[in-house]
Copies of this chain bind each other. A is one copy, B any other.
């Protein structure tokens, strides 16, 4: 009896898309206004999903309160109201695209999730752009 349980959270942050090893001209050509050197920002909406067996005792796959607190400590504390390029070590040498942010979030959460369960991360950069990573 496998069920996927999902918890929605959010954080907001500044970022800039660019590569240090590219010229300004190439960064502009590829990333357009997302390459603004003064940064821009987003309200990121995050959905974290755990897929696993229902515990027959509690009726939970995972206690949502525990999942909520885990997201708060591991993700919101690390990313909320931050400049992703300047203040989040994972993006020191990694372009903070929605794809890469989702993968980073997955890696930060994975050690805290039961090995038997699957972890999925969905990240909305805007209400019209979003990505999904299952690891």
A contacts, CB < 8 Å to B: 1, 3-10, 12-15, 17, 19, 30, 32-34, 36, 38-43, 45, 49, 54, 57-61, 63-65, 80-83, 86-87, 94-100, 102-103, 126-133
Contacts and interface: CB of A to CB of B under 8 A. Distances in A.
Contacts of A6: 129-132
Chain A interface, >50% SS class? mixed
A95 B58 contact: yes
Contacts of A61: 99, 131
A131 B47 CA distance: 12
B4 A83 contact: no
Q: Considering residues A4, A15, A40, which has the most beta carbons from chain B within 10 angstroms of its beta carbon?
A: A40
A83 B39 contact: yes
Contact of A7 (B32, B60, B81, B128): B128
Contacts of A64: 129
A27 to B, nearest CB: 10
13 contacts: A3-B99, A5-B99, A6-B132, A12-B40, A12-B41, A12-B42, A14-B38, A38-B82, A40-B41, A41-B42, A43-B43, A54-B97, A64-B129
B36 A83 contact: yes
